[in-house]
Structure 1
Amino acid sequence: MGEQIEKQGYSFGTFKGVYTPSVLTIFGVIMYLRFGWVLGNVGLAGTLLIVTIATSITFLTGLSISAMATNMKVGGGGAYYIIARSLGLEAGAAIGLPLFFARAIGIAFYIAGFTEALLSIMNPLASLGIEPALAAKIISAGTLLLLTVLVYFSADLALKIQFGIFAAITVSLISFFMGNPSSEALAIPLDAVIPPKAGFWVVFAVFFPAVTGIEAGLGLSGDLKDPSKSLPIGTLLAIATGYVVYMVMPVFLNAKIPDSSLLLVDPNIMATISRWAPLVVAGVFAASLSSAMGSLLGAPRTLQALAVDRVIPRFIGRGFGKDKADPRIATAFSFVVALAAVWLGNLNLIAPILSMFFLLSYGLLNLSAGLEGLIESPSWRPKFKIHYGVSLLGAALCFAAMLMIDAGATLISIFVTALVYYLVKRRRLNAHWADMRYGILTQLVRFAIHHLSRLKPDERTWKPNILALSGSPKSRWHLVEMAHALTQHSSALTVASILPVEDWSAEKVQSMESSMHDYLEKREVDAMVKIFPSPDMLTGAKSLVRAYGYGPLVPNTILLGDTENRSSFIEFAELIQLVYRTRRNLIMLRESDVTVDEDADRKADAIADEIHVWWGGNKANIGLILTLAYQIQKSPVWQQSKLVIKTIVDSEDELEPARERMETFIEEQRIPAEAKVLIKSMPSFYEIIRQSSANAGLIFMGMRPPGEEETIEAYSDYYGKLMDATKQMPPLALALAAEDIEFRQVIGISGRN
C-alpha cells in the first residue's frame, strides 16, 4: 500500500519541479527585506563570509542529496524520505516531524515578509481604523488563506504561476542593478532611530533561511518524473545561481551606499536604489508569495510521507485530485500551523527557529550520505559520486553552525528530535524497507574489534563476559537469572543451548533463537542467544568453550549448572578442566536442595537476603568471588542484600587478628560488607559452612583447580566429593579463577591479605 502511494503524483521535470521552486525560495523575502540589514550589521567582508558559509553548507548538502538521489528511488517527503530510508524510520520521523513544523512555520515567515513590504507602502485597512500591528496579522491570514486554496486544489497550477513569479523577480533584479540613486534618496531620515548592530551569528541565523530553498525542490521529490536526474541538476543549479547573486549584491550595495547606517533603518533599500522601484516592490510581493507557496507545497508532502509510513494517522496522507497527487488533508494541517505562526509576525523572531531545524535536517542528510560512503556496502553505487569526507564535513558544519548561532536553541532542537525518536521507537513500527543501521553497527564493531585486539584485558576495566550454558531458559531459569544479575546491561551475556544434532536444521535453529530472544526480552534480560548443534550436551558445551567468540571478544567466564549423574562425572570434570586450561573463569551454580520446615521460616526470612562469601586459601579465587559478589549486589534483585565475608581459623588466639585484618580490608577497599570469623569447631569445614550459612540467600565458595599432572579420574573423584560435601546447602556458587588477571587487584587485595 505504501509503495502505491509513493508512486502516485505528478511528473514534473527538472526546471519546473526542482530548479524553479528552489531558486524562487532562495530569492525570497530575506533578499529583498533583510539583505541590506545583513550588510549594515556585519559589513561587506562579514556579509560575503556569511553568504559563503551558508552556501557552503547548502552546497555540501546538495552534493549529498545528489549522491543519495542517484542511489535510490526517492519517494515523497524529500529530506524525511531520504533520512528514513538511510538511518531508519525512527530517525526519519525524528527529523520529519520537526521539519514539517519548520516548513509550515516558514509559510508564515514568507507571508510576514509580503505583509511587511505591503505595509511599508500602504495600509489597506487604515480606512477601517485598524492599527498596523493588527492589520498585519489580518492581511497575513487572508494571504495565507488565498494561497492555501490555490495549493489545495492543484500543485500543477501553483507551479505554473511560479513561472510568472520567476520573470517578475528577474526583472526586479535587473532594475536593482541598473539603479543609480541620488544622494538625497540615500540620506538618512532625520527622525530615524539607528539600532545597535547585531552580532555575526545572530545575523547568520537571520540570513540562513535564504539559502534553504533546496528544501522546496526536495519536498516535491515524489512528484518528479525522474528524481535521480532532476534533484542533482536542479538543486546544484539553484544553489549556484543563488550564490552568484548573493555575492554580487552586497558588493553593489556597498559601492552605492555612502553611510551603512541607512541599511539598518531602511528595509526597502533595494527599492530605494533600483532604477524602477515599482518593479522591485512587485518582486518583493512575488518572491515572498512564491516562497510561501513553495513551503505550502512541500510541508504537506512531508506530512503525507509520514502518514504513508504510519508515523502519524494514515488518513492525513490521503491524496485527492489528478492521480490522487494533492495531499489536501495534510495541506489543511499545514494551514493551521502556519496560521498560528502568522500571529508572531516578526521575521527576525521566526528566522532563527527555521534555521535550527533546517540545519539539523541538512546535518542528518549529510551524515546519511557520509555514512553510506564510509560503510561502502555493495548497495551504495550512486551515479553522482562524492567522497564520504565531503558529506561528513557538511554535517560537521551544520552542527557547528547550530551551536554558534544559539547553543541553548540547539540543545532544545536536539531534545525535541530525541523525544520524537524515543516516542516512535516505543511504538515499534515495522518499516517495509532496509536501512543502513546494521551496516553502521557492523562498521563500529569492526573498528572496535581491530583496536581491541591490540590491547590486553586489565584489572581496572575487567567485567564478566559470560557464556551461560543454561539450555532452555525455561527449564534452568536460575542460571539465566544469576548471569543477568552479574552482567546487568553493563557487560556481555550469551545464553547458549545445545541442540541434538539429529534434530538439527537451519530453520529449527533460527526458530529456537527467535523464541529464546522473545522469552528473554519479555523478562528484560539483555542477552545474545546461541543455539549449537552437537551429538550430546557435554560435547557441545566443550565445543562452545573452545570456539565461541569473535577475535578478542570471547567469554571470560563460563556459567553452568552442576550434575549429580555419576556416570557423567568424568566428562563433566573434563569440561571443568577445559574451561580452566583455556583460561576462562568458571561459575558453577548449584540449586538449593534444602527443605525448609515451618519452624525455620521466621529465621530464614530474617537473613535470606544475605550473601555469604567464604574466604579460603586460594587468593585468586577470593579475588574473583568478591568481584562477583560486589557485581551481583548492583542488580535490582540483590541490591538490598547484605554481604557477609566469612572465614575459619583454627584457634581462639587467631580470632581477633583475623577479624581486624578483614575489617581493615573491607574499609580500605570500600566494600559494603560485614566480617565474621569462626573457630573451627568441627572436623569438616563444609559442615561448619552448612550450619553457619544455613539460611543465606546465596553462598560463594572457591573450587580447587585441576593440577597439571592430575589425571581426569582424580579430578572427577574430587568433584564427586565436593558434590557430596555441599549437599543440603542454600543456593551455592562455586567459583574457579583461571583468567590471566590478578583478581586480587580488581578488588584491591594486597599480598599481605
Structure 2
Amino acid sequence: MKFISWVKKKNSTDLEEDNGKLGTFGGVFVPSLLTILGVIMYLRFGWVVGNVGLFGTLIIVTLSTSITFLTALSIAAISTDQVVKTGGAYYMISRSLGIETGGAVGIPLFLAQALSVALYVIGFAESLTEVFPAFNIKVVGIVVTVLISLLALYSTQATIKTQYFILAAIALSLISLLLGKPLEDTQIEMWGAPAHRSENFWVVFAVFFPAVTGIMAGVNLSGDLKNPSKSIPKGTFMAVGVGYIIYMLLPIILAGRADATTLLTEPLIMRRLAWWGDAILLGVWGATLSSAVGSLLGAPRILQALASDRVLPHYLQWLGRGNGKYNIPRAGTLLTMVLAIVAVYLGNLDIIAPVLSMFFLTTYGVLNIAAGVENLLGSPSFRPSFRVHWFFSFLGAIGCLAVMFLINATATVVAAFFVSMIFIWLKRRGIQTAFGDVRRGVWLAIARSALLRVNKVADPKNWRPNILILSGAPTKRWHLITLGADFTGGQALMTVSTVIKAPDVAFERLQKMEDNIREFLQSRRIQALVRVVNAEDPFVGGERLVSMYGIGGLVPNTVMLGDTQEMEHHQPYCDMIRHFYQARRNVIIVRAEEDASFGDRKRIDLWWGGLNKNGGLMLLMAYLLQNSLNWQHADVVVKMVVSDESAVDKTRKNIDDILHNMRVKFERQVIVSNGRSFWEILKHESDQADLVMLGLAEPNEDFLTYYESLSEKTAHLPPTVFVLAAQELDFKDVLL
C-alpha cells in the first residue's frame, strides 16, 4: 500500500506540468521500463539461464544492455541538440539524415508498433485463458484492444496512470519472487545444461535481446513531454539502468533455486519459485498490457508526424491532425486499433514477428548512425549538451546490425528490402522540407577531402570533361545542355552558366535566377551545377567567368557554347574564344538551330586530320557521346580525305590500328579528293549526318577572318560541333 500511495503521489506531481504534459518519470521512465520488463523476463528468462547458466546469462544481459546503452547515448546526444517534437525516433532521424531516411524508417516503425499491439494482446489473452479456459483468445484480444484504445483516445495522461498500477503489479511479482524459496536441492548452474540438451550461446542471445529494446516507448511520447531534451535522456538512462540491475539479479535467484532441466522445461517456473505464485501471473498480464499500451501510444504519434511532414500520400494527410488540448492523434489511434484488431483476429503473427523486430533494430541502428555522423562532421549547428564520441555511436550501429543477423538473417534482408523500397519511393517524390539535415554536411566533407586530393596537373588515366556551358537562358539553347549532358553521361561535371548583360544586379536576383534554372534542370532530370553572373558585356563576362570559376584543382577544362550569327558580335566572340584557348580550356562550339533535336541520333561524322591535338579530343568526345543513352545507337564514322589512291591503303591501316588500340566500335571512311575541295567533299558526304564534328584552328591574330570563312563554308551542314583542344594534355595518352 505504501508503494501504491507513493505512485499516486508521484503521479500527481509528474502530471501537474505545464499544459498537463508529461514529465520524466511518467512520460519516459515508466513506459520504457515496463517494456523492458516484459514477457521475455517472465516466460523465457528461466529458459535462458537453463541453457547458458548463471555466468553465460550475465554475459548475455551485459552484452545486450551494452548495445541498448550505446543507442541510449545516441538518443541523448540528438535529443539534447534539438527540441524533439511529435514522432520520437522518426522526428530525430528525419531532422538528422533527411526526410527520405526518416520516412523509410518511420513508416515500417509505425507498422511494427501497430502490429506489436496485437502481439502483446494475444500474449495477454493466451496467458489469461491458461487460468480461465472458458475464455476465447480472439474475443479477449479484441475486447482488450478496444478497451485500451478507448483509454488512449480519451486521454494520454489517463493511459499513463494505468501504467503505474501495472508497474505496481510487476514490482509485487518481483518482490514475491525474491521472498520465495528453492524448488529443489540444487547447486548454482554456472554454465547451464550439457551441450547436447541446450541451445547455442548466440541462439539464446538472440532470444533474449528483444527484452532490452524497450527504450523507444518513452521516446515515442516526445510530443507529449514537457521538456523532451531533459526527460528523454534522463528517463531512458534510468530505465536502462534499473532494467540492467533487475536482469542481473534475477539469474542469481533462478540458478540458485532450480536446476537447469527444470528451468528449460517450465516456461512459468517463476510462479513455482515465488512466495505468492499468482503474483507472477499479475506480472505477466501487466507486462503484456503495458507493452501493448506503450505501442498503442507510440504508433499513432509516429503516424501523426509522418502525415504532418507530408511523407504520407496527400489523401492520408488527415492523419496528421491532433485533437483536444493535448493534440491527441485520435484518427491515428483509431487506425492503429483497426490494424491491431485485424491482426488479433487473424491470430498468428509468427511469420511477420521477426520482421517487426528487425524494424525496431533498424530504427536503433539508424539513430546511432545519425548521432555518429553528426558528431563526426562537427557541424557548428550540432551542439548537444550531452556529448558522445562518434566511435560509440557507430559501435552501437554495428552492434544492432550484428544482432539483426544473429536473430534472423532472412528477416533482416526482408526488412532491408522493405525500407529501401520506401526510401526510393520517397526520393522520387522529391518532398520539399523547411528543415535542413546532415546530408549536405556529409557531401561537403567528402567534397573537401576530394578537393584537397585532386591534383591540378591533368591525369590522362582519369581525365573526364568538366564542361562549363555558356548557354544563356536554358530554354533558348536547350540543345547545348542536352548535348553537354550526353558528353558527361552522368560521370563528369557540367555547369550551366548565364551572363546577364547588366552592370548592377542585386545579389538576391542572381540567386533567384540560379534557383529557377536549377529547378528547371531538375524537373527535366539534368544533373548540373548552375552559375549566373552579371557583366557590362556578355563576352567580357564569359571571359571573367571562365577565368574565375572553379575551386582548387577542380576547374572546368572544357568550355561549350553556341555560335554567333550577328556580324557585330564576331570580333568580341573571336576574342573570347582566343581568351579561352590562352587559358588552356578546350572549346566546343555547337552550331545548330535553337530547337535542334539532332535528327535520329543515328550517325556522327567525324572529320579527322590526325591523332594529335584536335584529333585526339574529337575521338574522345565522340566515344563519350556514343556511350550516352541518347546516342547509344549512333554510328561514329571517322572520315579522312587523301589526295590520291596511293595513300588510301596506308591511311586505312593507320586508322584501323588506332581504332583497334582505342577499343572502340567506330567505322572509318577514306575519301579520295580527285581534285575536289575539302568543303565540297564535306557538304556532299555529311549532308545526311545527324551530327558533324570538325576541328578548329588555333586562334591567332587573324582568327576573325578564319572563323567567318569557316562559318560561311559550313553554313548548310547539319548540326555541327567545332572542337578546339587547348588543355596541356596529350589526348593520345587517354585514348591508347
State whether TM-score is above 0.5: yes
Partner of 2:190: none
Decide whether aligned partners of structure 1 residues 203 and 101 sit closer, same or farther in structure 2, where only a CA change above 3 A counts. farther
Residue 249, structure 1, aligned to residue 242, structure 2 = no
Q: Structure 2 CA distance, aligned partners of 1:261 and 1:348?
A: 26
- Aligned equivalent of 2:638, options 633, 645, 665: 645
Partner of 1:83: 93
- Aligned equivalent of 1:71, options 81, 92, 96: 81
SS in 2 for 1:65: helix
- Aligned equivalent of 1:320, options 295, 319, 323: 323
Aligned 1:549-628 pairs, distance under 5 A = 549-563=550-564, 565=566, 567-591=568-592, 609-628=602-621
Contact 2:182 2:258 (C-alpha < 8 Å) held by counterparts: no
1:334 positional shift: 1.1
Q: CA RMSD in A?
A: 2.8
- Per-residue CA deviations over 1:187-219 (Å, capped at 9, x if unaligned) read xxxxxxx99755555444432331122111111
1:139 positional shift: 2.8
Aligned 1:293-372 pairs, distance under 5 A = 293-312=293-312, 313-321=316-324, 323-342=325-344, 351-372=353-374
Residue 226, structure 1, aligned to residue 227, structure 2 = yes
Q: Structure 1 CA distance, aligned partners of 2:141 and 2:202?
A: 28
Partner of 2:395: 393
- Aligned equivalent of 1:674, options 664, 667, 683: 667
Q: Structure 2 CA distance, aligned partners of 1:196 and 1:728?
A: 90
Q: Structure 1 CA distance, aligned partners of 2:658 and 2:129?
A: 82
Partner of 1:543: 544
Aligned 1:194-593 pairs, distance under 5 A = 197-258=198-259, 260-312=260-312, 313-321=316-324, 323-342=325-344, 351-453=353-455, 457-502=458-503, 504-563=505-564, 565=566, 567-591=568-592
**What residue identity is the alignment partner of 2:322?**
G
SS in 2 for 1:361: helix
- Aligned equivalent of 1:723, options 702, 711, 714: 711
SS in 1 for 2:533: strand
Contact 2:604 2:634 (C-alpha < 8 Å) held by counterparts: yes
Partner of 1:189: none
Contact 1:28 1:284 (C-alpha < 8 Å) held by counterparts: yes
Q: Structure 2 CA distance, aligned partners of 1:521 and 1:297?
A: 40
Contact 2:355 2:415 (C-alpha < 8 Å) held by counterparts: no
Q: Structure 2 CA distance, aligned partners of 1:718 and 1:542?
A: 21
Aligned 1:61-140 pairs, distance under 5 A = 61-125=71-135, 135-140=136-141
- Aligned equivalent of 1:743, options 727, 731, 735: 731
Partner of 2:622: 629
Partner of 1:190: none
Q: Structure 1 CA distance, aligned partners of 2:196 and 2:302?
A: 39
Aligned 1:146-157 pairs, distance under 5 A = 146-157=147-158
1:310 positional shift: 2.9
Q: Which runs of 5+ in 2 are unaligned?
A: 1-16, 188-194
Task: Indicate the larger mover: 633-642 or 341-350.
Answer: 341-350
Partner of 1:54: 64
**What residue identity is the alignment partner of 1:315?**
W
Contact 1:113 1:347 (C-alpha < 8 Å) held by counterparts: no
Partner of 2:701: 713
Contact 1:623 1:745 (C-alpha < 8 Å) held by counterparts: no
Q: Structure 2 CA distance, aligned partners of 1:404 and 1:668?
A: 52
Contact 1:500 1:536 (C-alpha < 8 Å) held by counterparts: yes
Decide whether aligned partners of structure 1 residues 185 and 739 sit closer, same or farther in structure 2, where only a CA change above 3 A counts. same
Contact 2:186 2:257 (C-alpha < 8 Å) held by counterparts: no
- Per-residue CA deviations over 1:718-749 (Å, capped at 9, x if unaligned) read 3344334433222221112222333223222x
SS in 1 for 2:460: coil
Contact 2:584 2:726 (C-alpha < 8 Å) held by counterparts: yes
Q: Structure 2 CA distance, aligned partners of 1:66 and 1:246?
A: 23
SS in 2 for 1:499: strand
Contact 1:304 1:330 (C-alpha < 8 Å) held by counterparts: yes
1:145 positional shift: 2.5
Contact 1:112 1:347 (C-alpha < 8 Å) held by counterparts: no
Contact 2:185 2:257 (C-alpha < 8 Å) held by counterparts: no
Partner of 1:655: 648
Q: Structure 2 CA distance, aligned partners of 1:100 and 1:680?
A: 76
**What residue identity is the alignment partner of 1:29?**
V
1:665 positional shift: 3.7
Q: Structure 2 CA distance, aligned partners of 1:122 and 1:524?
A: 64
Task: Indicate the larger mover: 563-572 or 166-175.
Answer: 563-572
Q: Structure 2 CA distance, aligned partners of 1:414 and 1:289?
A: 30
- Per-residue CA deviations over 1:252-271 (Å, capped at 9, x if unaligned) read 3233332x233332111222
- Per-residue CA deviations over 1:287-310 (Å, capped at 9, x if unaligned) read 111121111111122112222223
Contact 2:611 2:732 (C-alpha < 8 Å) held by counterparts: no
Q: Structure 2 CA distance, aligned partners of 1:44 and 1:702?
A: 82
**What residue identity is the alignment partner of 2:722?**
L
Decide whether aligned partners of structure 1 residues 431 and 565 sit closer, same or farther in structure 2, where only a CA change above 3 A counts. closer
1:646 positional shift: 1.0
SS in 2 for 1:502: coil
Aligned 1:27-38 pairs, distance under 5 A = 27-38=37-48
1:634 positional shift: 2.7
Q: Structure 2 CA distance, aligned partners of 1:393 and 1:25?
A: 24
Q: Structure 2 CA distance, aligned partners of 1:479 and 1:64?
A: 49
SS in 2 for 1:494: strand
SS in 2 for 1:663: helix
Q: Structure 2 CA distance, aligned partners of 1:267 and 1:643?
A: 76
Partner of 1:191: none
Decide whether aligned partners of structure 1 residues 244 and 351 sit closer, same or farther in structure 2, where only a CA change above 3 A counts. farther
Contact 1:181 1:272 (C-alpha < 8 Å) held by counterparts: no
- Per-residue CA deviations over 1:540-573 (Å, capped at 9, x if unaligned) read 1111111111222211111112235555444434
1:685 positional shift: 2.3
Task: Indicate the larger mover: 273-282 or 197-206.
Answer: 197-206
Q: Structure 1 CA distance, aligned partners of 2:601 and 2:369?
A: 54
Task: Indicate the larger mover: 572-581 or 170-179.
Answer: 572-581
- Per-residue CA deviations over 1:628-675 (Å, capped at 9, x if unaligned) read 112112334322221111112222122123223333443443322211
Give the TM-score, by structure 2 length: 0.90
1:715 positional shift: 3.6
Q: Structure 2 CA distance, aligned partners of 1:736 and 1:317?
A: 59
- Per-residue CA deviations over 1:406-435 (Å, capped at 9, x if unaligned) read 333223212212222233334443333333
- Per-residue CA deviations over 1:608-631 (Å, capped at 9, x if unaligned) read 731011120352322211111121
Task: Indicate the larger mover: 569-578 or 382-391.
Answer: 569-578
1:713 positional shift: 2.0
**What residue identity is the alignment partner of 1:504?**
V
Task: Indicate the larger mover: 466-475 or 563-572.
Answer: 563-572
Give the TM-score, by structure 1 length: 0.88
Count of aligned residue pairs for this structure pair? 708
Contact 2:186 2:258 (C-alpha < 8 Å) held by counterparts: no
Contact 1:621 1:702 (C-alpha < 8 Å) held by counterparts: yes
SS in 1 for 2:226: coil
